[in-house]
Amino acid sequence: MKTAAHQLLNCPFEGVTKKIYLESKVWELMSLLIDEELRQQDVERSPNYLTAEVIERIHYAKEILLQQLDTPPSLPNLARKVQLNECTLKQGFRQVFGETAFGCLHNHRMERARQLLIAGEVNVSEAARKVGIANRGHFAAAFRKKYGVLPSQYLRQRRNSG
């Protein structure tokens, strides 16, 4: 939701295109809000069968993923490391964090890459490599999907506004 709001406030278009873009971002925000509300209702209705120990292991799994952004373990290896079966890890991760393990990994990769780009520490290719995405085209597409602009455009916008 933060990303959509940021994109709404920093519209890169003018005229009719701007109007259409802004309307689409408002619809996107509304759908995200509705989705969040439905997820919350599902969590409240679903039985909380996770023990404190399992929740602790799921948090540990998230730590492992975030520490190894560039070379994350596979789901079976992650489950083995935290001593849970895959099914419990997948369901528990979604219940505890509201997203899949690798959805979480992807979001943190994109955020880390954005931070690297903002800091001016690396170029686009290096940012992709540092977060474990070897293909620059895949990185650019994922970045654009998350932030609404290509990484190179994002950098230009940051330089022009800063």
What is the pLDDT, as a whole number, of residue 48?
60
3-state secondary structure of 132: coil
Distance CA 3, CA 145 (A): 10
Distance CA 19, CA 8 (A): 11
- Dump pLDDT digits (tens) for 128-158: 999 999 899 999 999 999 999 999 888 888 7
Name 157's Cβ contacts closer than 8 Å, sequence gap at least 6. Answer: 10, 12, 149
What is the pLDDT, as a whole number, of residue 162?
61
- Dump pLDDT digits (tens) for 31-70: 999 988 887 776 666 556 789 999 999 999 999 999 998 8
Nearest to 97 by CA among 136, 89, 37, 80: 89
What is the pLDDT, as a whole number, of residue 37?
86
- Dump pLDDT digits (tens) for 6-37: 888 888 899 999 999 999 999 999 999 998 88
pTM above 0.85, yes or no: no
Distance CA 118, CA 122 (A): 9
Opening angle at CA 131, ends 127 and 134, nearest 5 = 80
Distance CA 61, CA 24 (A): 36
Amino acid type, 95: Q
- Dump pLDDT digits (tens) for 91-127: 999 989 989 999 999 999 999 999 999 888 788 999 9
